[in-house]
Amino acid sequence: MKISGSYTLPVAPERAYQILQDPAVLAQAMPGCEGLEQIGPNEYRMKMNVILAALSGKFEGKVRIADAVPPTSFRLIVEGSGRIGFLKGDGLLKLSLANTNPSVSTVVSYEGDAHVGGTLAAVGQRLIDGTSKMMLKKFFDKLVSLAH
């Protein structure tokens, strides 16, 4: 499944880039995140509680950052599995200075591929698209509140 979209953060690209890679900030911003622990350079272990309509369950996985080009882009690779299935995602995030706003802000655009499997795929297929969009919106909304 393809995922893409964009979001505007009301901070300069350098600051946006920094918070997008700050485990403490990310852990707070990611919906359902119950822990993010650094296990290597640019690699984190993540615990997450996912709720998708009638399905809910804990996921354990890894988040990895690759191809980092501060402050303009990086790749985010997520892998997790739990009792309701597994998910894998690989996305490219691009940051650019928004020039339409009077104050400084950054457009974060993302484009990637997501795969789900197991019960999550069998039962939740209809809901994944909407839920992932909702979760991303929650994530960025929270990020805005943490950015200042």
Q: What residues make contact with other proteins under the rule CB under 8 A?
A: 81, 83, 85-86, 115-119, 121-123, 125-126
Residue 126 vs 137, nearer CB to other proteins: 126
Closest approach, Cβ 103 to other proteins, in A, equals: 44
Q: How far is CA 119 from CA 34, 54, 82, 142, in A?
A: 22, 11, 10, 29
Closest approach, Cβ 83 to other proteins, in A, equals: 4
CA pair distance 58, 51, nearest whole angstrom: 9
Q: 1 CB contacts (<8 Å, ≥6 apart)?
A: 113, 114, 115, 116, 128, 129
Residue 15 vs 88, nearer CB to other proteins: 88
CA pair distance 82, 91, nearest whole angstrom: 21
DSSP 114: E
Closest approach, Cβ 18 to other proteins, in A, equals: 34
Residue 16 vs 46, nearer CB to other proteins: 46
Residue 67 vs 113, nearer CB to other proteins: 113
State the greatest distance between any 2 C-alpha atoms of the chain, in Å, as a whole number: 47
Closest approach, Cβ 54 to other proteins, in A, equals: 9
